Amino acid sequence: MSLAEASDRATFGRLTRPSAARSLRFVRSELGMVFRRRRNQALLVVLACIPILIAVAIKVSGGSGGGNGNGAALFGSITENGIFVAYSALFVVIPFFLPMAVSVVAGDSLSGEANTGTLRYLLAVPVGRSRLLAVKFAGIVAWCIACSAVVAVVGVLIGLILFGGGDVTLLSGTSVSFASGLGRLSIVAAYVAANIAAVGAIGLFVSTLTEVPIAAMATTLGLTITSQVLDAVPQISAIHPWLLSHYWQQFIDVLRDPMDLDKVGHGLLASATYAVLFLTMAWARFGNKDVSS
């Protein structure tokens, strides 16, 4: 190796290794900021309480109750196997509680930095705007996974304590092993996290439009609620498949034998479409934004 080549490689190493190290530190810093905030920790506690409340209510009532539909089928299976506490809790939290938790973090992602005056210092590190957006969205995705996992894990634990485990009788009437039931639960939790990550992308875009975090949070949550309201109006059923929330609770098809993944696939496609669209809009907006605070 010539002296010039050695010099070039050394220079390349000095440029790339610190850059990679800075990116890694940036991601760790973002994750630390998301998960160390007392507000966000309180949200995780609230989410963890929901499966506990469901399990205790079913235990106290003796499993009695009526109703029909997918939700009733899940709740009716809790007394037979505690794993259904996790399924039922995810079914309950995905319409409102999870979007609310994600809206808080996503809406605060950039507007919070601008509000406290740290955004321009972040960009002066130097950190490219595209990299900053990528790191912020990575933090949001990690938060989505954590929220979904907390509900699922606490649901399984409290369900096993109060109702026991054993073979899982699916909604189609066939039985699978408890391990297979946990495998299906992991699929459900991942599906839920993927869907609410799209809400996070919307929140990240809204966060580029304002320096008021509360406004970004409220707008993001308001958009998800609007989607669900429109989804409940039968007269406009033609647009329902295009709504963000239309397939959110369709993970119940995973609990059939064989698994019917057709609508689950549509749900993932819809969420991916919304995520790509709003991330692109966030990149376009933030890339041309005059950051003065």
What pLDDT, on a 0 to 100 scale, did the predictor assign at position 116? Answer: 78
Amino acid (1-letter code) at residue 35:
F
Residue 235 is given by DSSP the state G
Q: What is the pLDDT of residue 131?
A: 86
Q: pLDDT, tens digit, for every residue of 14-35? A: 434 446 666 788 888 889 999 9
Supply 161's token pair. 């304590």
Residue 192's pLDDT is: 98
User: In the prediction, which pLDDT does 287 show?
Assistant: 77
Q: For position 64, what pLDDT does the model report?
A: 57
Closest to 208 (Cα-Cα) out of 196, 195, 219: 219
The sign of the CA dihedral 227, 231, 233, 237 is positive
Mean pLDDT by 10 residues, the chain (293 residues): 39 46 80 94 98 95 66 90 96 96 94 78 68 92 98 98 94 94 97 98 94 94 96 95 95 92 95 97 83 55
Q: What is the pLDDT at residue 101? A: 97
Backbone phi and psi for residue 134, each to the nearest 5 degrees, phi listed first: -65, -45
pLDDT of residue 209: 92
Q: Residue 126's pLDDT is what?
A: 58
Residue from 268, 176, 214 nearest 39 by CA: 214
C-beta of residue 86 within 8 angstroms of C-beta of residue 152? yes
Q: What is the pLDDT of residue 119?
A: 73
3 state DSSP class of 214: helix
Backbone angles phi, psi at 168, to 5 degrees: -100, 120
Give pLDDT, residue 67.
Answer: 54
Q: Give the per-residue pLDDT at 16.
A: 40
